[in-house]
Every structure is written in structure tokens, then in C-alpha cells.
Amino acid sequence: DVKVTQSSRYLVKRTGEKVFLECVQDMDHENMFWYRQDPGLGLRLIYFSYDVKMKEKGDIPEGYSVSREKKERFSLILESASTNQTSMYLCASRSTGYNYGYTFGSGTRLTVV
Amino acid sequence: AQKITQTQPGMFVQEKEAVTLDCTYDTSDPSYGLFWYKQPSSGEMIFLIYQGSYDQQNATEGRYSLNFQKARKSANLVISASQLGDSAMYFCAMWEEDFGNEKLTFGTGTRLTIIP
């Protein structure tokens, strides 16, 4: 069964900490995405990547960075976590040229205290 | 303007009844795709159904159908014979591609509760 795996289901971090959210897919997909989900706002795109070492800003990139050193892994980095980054984070992937079938991970619920 | 609008924050429906979840979208691109996803309390986004902008027929997947009205820019999800397991958040999303950059934009979601 194809999968997108997010390393942590729940995470609690302190303000100012550097936080890494990891996402791994086993489908050999080129495209990977990071979204955050907040009540009443739906899902909003933070960053995406079309290939290894390639990244593009989404709608709300401020306060975040990403890393894609290997095709299967896409990391979201909070350089200095703040309380307004408390949210559910969802990773997704899909294959190029296949315009449906985004596969999502189960999400990481991050709380910054 | 919102790209994807879901006007129903919550809905309560009796088990076995049909339910329609509303979704309107806004785009000037002739080529786009529309998705519906289900998100149960476990958090995972589950793909339900897809409609391409050039598809002539409304998409159907089992109990799910998409009522696509292109002129009205409407893509409502219809669930027939609802079940208790259908209780979840439902998101409408639109896929667009612009000079090789793709984007999947989500609505704010509808929380569906099925009543026994």
C-alpha cells in the first residue's frame, strides 16, 4: 500500500526552538507539498517541491523553510517556533503529469508553548 | 476573492438520507480540476472524487457523485444513502497549473455529522 509517512503524530515544542517535521513517501513521486490546517481556514500551502533540492514558496511561507535532499523525503523547518505556528501540518505527494490523486500523510499536530 | 468557497460550516443529516455539500470556485483558467477529500477524526485526508474541467460527464465513485455545473462554477458533492461512517470534515479543492507550477487550493471545509 502506497504511503506518505509523517514522523510524528503529536509534537509539543517551546517558543524559539528549531523544529523539524519530516515527511517520507514510498511512491517515487516527484512532487511534495506541505500544508497547514487551521479551523475555519482550511488547508493552506506553505511550500512545495518538484524535484530534489528544488523548492517553491506557497501561500504562507513566512517563518518556515524546507529541505529536499532525497526524492522520498521532504522536511519542513520552523527556524524559531512561535505560538502562532501551533497547527496541524499535512504533507502530500503526487506524481508529475497525474492531475489527481494527491496522497496525504496523517498529519502532525504541533503545539508551541 | 476566495478561490474555493464552502458555505456550510456544519451539517447534520439523518442516516440513510442523501446529502449535498456545496462548493463554488473561481478561476479564469480553462483547464483545472476539482477534488473532494474526506478527513475523519484520525486526521488523514482521503481522496473521494475528481472532476476535470473538460470532463463531459459528472464524476461518480460508488456512493459519491459530483454535481458539476461549469457555468455556475459549482462542484457540489452528493453522498447517497449516508452512513454513520460518513461523519467527517469534507474539503473541496481546486487544482490549477500556471507555467508549470501547480497549485491545489482548499476550501474551509464542511463538518458533516450523520445522526442515527
Residue B89 near residue B103, CB atoms below 8 Å: no
A102, A106, A109 member nearest B104 (Cβ): A102
Q: With bands split at pLDDT 50, 70 and 90, how would you rate the model's confidence at B42?
A: confident
How much is the pLDDT for B43?
A: 86
How much is the pLDDT for A2?
A: 63
Kindly tell me if the per-residue pLDDT of A3 is higher than 70: yes
Q: With bands split at pLDDT 50, 70 and 90, how would you rate the model's confidence at A99?
A: low
Those of residues 65-84 in A touching chain B at CB distance below 8 A are none
Rounded to whole angstroms, the Cα distance separating B9 from A52 reads 38
Kindly tell me if the per-residue pLDDT of A97 is higher than 70: no
Picking from A39, A55, A45, A54, the residue whose alpha carbon sits closest to that of residue A87 is A39
Outline where DSSP puts E strands in chain A: 4-6, 10-13, 19-25, 31-38, 42-49, 56-57, 64-70, 73-78, 87-94, 103-104, 108-112
Picking from B89, B115, B90, B91, the residue whose alpha carbon sits closest to that of residue B105 is B91
Contact B101 A105 (CB under 8 A): no
Work out whether strand A31-38 and strand A19-25 pair parallel, antiparallel, or are unpaired. unpaired
Contact B104 A101 (CB under 8 A): no
What are B89's strand-pairing partners?
B39, B111
Contact A42 B95 (CB under 8 A): no
How much is the pLDDT for B77?
A: 98
Digit-coded pLDDT (tens) for B3-22 = 999 999 999 999 999 999 99
Q: Is A97 on the interface with B (CB under 8 A)?
A: no
Set of chain A residues whose Cβ sits within 8 Å of the Cβ of B109: 42
- SS3 state of residue A35: strand
Kindly tell me if the per-residue pLDDT of B1 is higher than 70: no
Digit-coded pLDDT (tens) for A10-66 = 999 999 999 999 999 998 888 999 999 998 899 999 999 988 989 999 999 999 999
Rounded to whole angstroms, the Cα distance separating B25 from A58 reads 19
What are A67's strand-pairing partners?
A75
